Amino acid sequence: MGFEFFTNTRIIFGAGTLSRVGVLAKEFGRNVLVVTGRDANRAEGLCALLKEQQLGYVTFSVFGEPEIGTVEQAVALAKSRKSELVISIGGGSALDAGKTIAAMLTNPGTLVEYLEVIGKGKALSNASAPFIAIPTTAGTGSEVTRNAVLASAEHRVKVSLRSPLMLPKIALVDPELTYRLPLSITASTGLDALTQLIEPFVSTRANPMMDALCREGLSRVARSLRVACNNPHEPSAREDMCVASLFGGLALTNAGLGAVHGFAGPIGGMFHAPHGAVCAALLPHVMWINIKTLREREPGAKALARYDEIAQVLTGKPAARMDDGVEWVRELIAELKIPRLSAYGIRGEHTDELVEKSRQASSMKSNPVTLTANELREVLAEEAKPG
């Protein structure tokens, strides 16, 4: 057995912890670049707290998932304003953008040089500028990951910038920031969190330290995702989902992902489809094909016993087996009205290109079994049907 563990210098969790951000930021400098999502008004409270500490700031909004050109604009703005630190407040897109901006403030050359797939995959040589990550959704876990996902419109693909040097200095997780999320985002991001607990738990890089986080996270999703969707101001449910998201981020950073995310990157690059909704739609199909393939090729595989354990945690039934877990996920997705992938324009004629691109994705490397092209086509078969 062997594994490594990477995480932030500091994780601060709890209701109301946003109130501490001004004092925390002051430790790193006087000028701040504040990165927000589409709705910059969500950062008003944060900016007021920076003002209280006499910190200067400029805001930058990211509309949708971050593109390479968007990040380059933000880096230029930050340099022109002599920003010493970056704070992101928002969903995974805002956090990934901020993480990348902080990295490019201190590293020479162009962003593309450091990107996987479309660039040279050059390693960062310098630690990022200080970065504080403040999630307002409970799903991506980006506040504790060492990579950022960017879209390249030119190449119609999503690519990663990846380095331990990119870990945020502080992850500040305040469940109260998720209270205003609409049902659709609570559902899709919550299912993304579920995916990021299941995939590391069955991955080829699973390890005891992350297993403990996955088990705890899975139990919290099982008892609280429905509650958070139906009663968005229920504090314990929102707290549970934020814990699950945080643990999922730690797990994927240290134990890898699988075929769901192997597909999600190419799909996100080719279509305007929200990452969380894509992962949610794919999850039961990937669980099913992994189980089917392992039964046929590796009936004694450790991952099969882990799928049984997942089923027991999700259903709350000690006698549940892996097929029950797949059915539990299918029923939850139907209940939460997650659209099929066909709703985003994905059709059968796109299958071959998506399969080819997904096989090159880094997430595929830790899937519990190597899936053939035909097996990957089976994953997309139902989702690409109209209706």
Query: In tens digits, what is the pLDDT along the chain, a chain of 387 residues?
Result: 788 898 988 999 999 999 999 999 999 999 999 999 988 888 999 999 999 999 999 999 998 889 999 999 999 999 999 999 999 999 999 999 999 999 999 999 999 999 988 888 899 999 999 999 999 999 999 999 999 999 887 887 788 899 999 999 999 999 999 999 999 999 999 999 999 999 999 999 999 999 999 999 999 999 999 999 999 999 999 999 999 999 999 999 999 999 999 999 999 989 989 999 999 999 999 999 999 999 999 999 999 999 999 999 999 999 999 999 999 999 999 999 999 999 999 999 999 999 999 998 989 999 999 999 999 999 999 787 775
**What span, in angstroms and rounded, lies between the C-alpha atoms of 146 and 132?**
13
Residues in a beta bridge with 28? none
Domain 10-178 = CATH 3.40.50.20: no
Residues in a beta bridge with 131? 86
Reference 13, options 155, 133, 140, 172; nearest CA is 172
Q: Looking at domain 183-381, what is its CATH homologous superfamily?
A: Dehydroquinate synthase-like - alpha domain (1.20.1090.10)
Helix axes 208-230, 322-335, angle to 10 degrees: 30
Predicted model pTM: 0.96
Where exactly are the structural domains of the chain? 10-178, 183-381
**What span, in angstroms and rounded, lies between the C-alpha atoms of 259 and 262?**
4
Task: List Cα–Cα distances, 79 to 33, 76, 112, 308, in angstroms.
Answer: 10, 5, 18, 52
* Collapsed DSSP state (helix, strand, coil) of residue 50: helix
Q: b/e for 297-308, b at 16 or more Cβ within 10 A? A: eeeebebbebbb
Residue 145 CB contacts under 8 Å (≥ 6 apart), including other chains: 167, 249, 252, 253
* HSE, side-chain direction, 13 A CA sphere, residue 252: 33
Q: How many CB atoms lie within 10 A of CB 364?
A: 20
Listing DSSP states for 60-72 in one string gives EE--SS-BHHHHH
**What span, in angstroms and rounded, lies between the C-alpha atoms of 190 and 316?**
19
Residue 281 Cα to chain centre, angstroms: 15
Q: Residue 359 in contact with residue 372, Cβ under 8 Å?
A: no
The answer to whether the 10-178 and 183-381 domains have the same CATH topology is no
